[in-house]
A and B are shown apart, each in its own frame.
Chain A
Amino acid sequence: MKITQGQFSFLPDLTDAEIKLQVQYALNNGWAVALEFTNDPHPRNSYWAMWGHPMFDLADPAGVMMELDACRKAHADCYIRLLAFDNVKGWESIRMSFIVNRPAQEFGFELIRQEGEGRQIHYTLRSVTTAAIAARQF
């Protein structure tokens, strides 16, 4: 199951050359670029782990690509996203965000049913990978 989220989610995955162009666009706007990774791609998961600090004051995308390569090497089996943060007063938030790496095999989500009061069923989604990791650890 191919997970999509963020910008360009309706397009095929960006190539490195395309990622570079997007990074250049962010840098031209003075935005700080950051990388984050996770193995829980649930859309409500806002706690992705940071790969190093956000990168301020870069002139060229090569520096970002170097970090992306390193992050992919260390976390090939994770989702990695690239963010651009705008620190201009009033914005002070993320202006760009898109996926730049995904695991070779994507497990998607399982549906969990919870039987509540009066046998009412509540449904929720859980990432299969996080479930598997939890099972391995506990």
Chain B
Amino acid sequence: MSEMITAPEEMLIDLEEMYQHSCIGETIAALDRDMVGLVPVKTRIREIAALLLVEAARRKLGLQAEPPSLHMSFTGNPGTGKTSVGQRIADMLHRLGYIRRNHVVVVTRDDLVGQYIGHTAPKTKEILKKAMGGVLFIDEAYYLYRPENERDYGQEAIEILLQVMEDKRDDLVVVLAGYKDRMDTFFSSNPGMASRVAHHIDFPDYNAGELFEIAGLMLQKMHYHLASEAELALRDYIALRMQQPRFSNARSIRNALDRARLRQANRLFSQRATKIDRHDVSLITESDIRASRVFQA
């Protein structure tokens, strides 16, 4: 006798089992672990995961619907984690079977827009083809639109994007990233784009505590650690740096740590007559941090 096939009307769905099977929990846990703060972002990502999981369950039950549109915009100041989250979103969408390939193609205006008539369309299409199956991440998307020049080729790129975002939803997820105010202007002057973007995710600035935690994570990944006085120095550094111009959140922290490593290396090198061990090469001392220009202002 052939196997009994349950009619979709009577089938029971085990969401928990589907959740475990997709291993999506792993991606979300990694996001929680590796990215400090960003509560609104994480919440939205969990919501999208739930949506896709339920969508898969509905399909199993024979309820057909257009796949949900997942084009997104990421807005936030420099160094708030937009690009990093973009990478993780691709991983999550891939595990949930929404995209076929776990890849992100990151582009800016110059990759899409050409220099002369007839140059833009092939350029944009080339990028679209490369991104297909995965995620296209357009950084500083507002540069595509230059209202001051009515013959700007950016408009052509926008139009091609709009069409693909509509027709090829199964093949491509587009993420538009940039600073909040400029993105808002971009969307208000490109209503077609605004209406195709289903999820607007705002990346808040980090507070001093979060920045310190981010520094800790970065150091841990690079196999360094802070001497206990250096911890206080780093907290002071963060408080001062946040007040200064061109502060760019986590990226400023990364840069500060890179410079501290440089100083540490020079300190060790200048004392090269003494033998050093594993502990010495991974220790960042107070002086490595306090020597920063930020304290001299």
Give chain A's interface secondary structure class.
mixed
Q: Provide the bound-state CA to CA distance between A18 and B122, in Å.
A: 26
On whether A60 and B122 interact (CB within 8 A), knowing A55-B129, A66-B129, A66-B168, the answer reads no
How many residues of A sit at the interface, in one of the four size bands?
A: 10 to 19
**Which residue from B122, B125, B128, B132 sits with its C-beta under 8 Å from A59?**
B132
Is B154 in the interface zone, CB < 8 Å from A?
no
**Number of residues on chain B facing chain A (CB within 8 A):** 17
B168 and A60 contact, CB distance less than 8 A: no
Is A13 in the interface zone, CB < 8 Å from B?
no
Is A86 in the interface zone, CB < 8 Å from B?
no
| A to B contact number (C-beta, < 8 Å) | 45
Chain B residues with CB below 8 A from A63, complex form: 128-130, 132-133
Contacting A at CB under 8 A, from B163-191, are: 164, 168, 170-172
Give chain B's interface secondary structure class.
loop
| 16 more A-B residue pairs beyond the given contacts A58-B132, A59-B132, with a C-beta to C-beta distance below 8 A | A55-B126, A59-B133, A59-B134, A60-B101, A60-B133, A60-B134, A61-B133, A62-B100, A62-B133, A62-B170, A62-B172, A66-B129, A66-B132, A66-B171, A67-B125, A67-B129
A-B contact pairs, 13 of them (CB 8 A): A52-B122, A58-B129, A58-B130, A59-B101, A60-B132, A61-B133, A62-B100, A63-B128, A63-B132, A66-B125, A66-B168, A66-B171, A67-B125
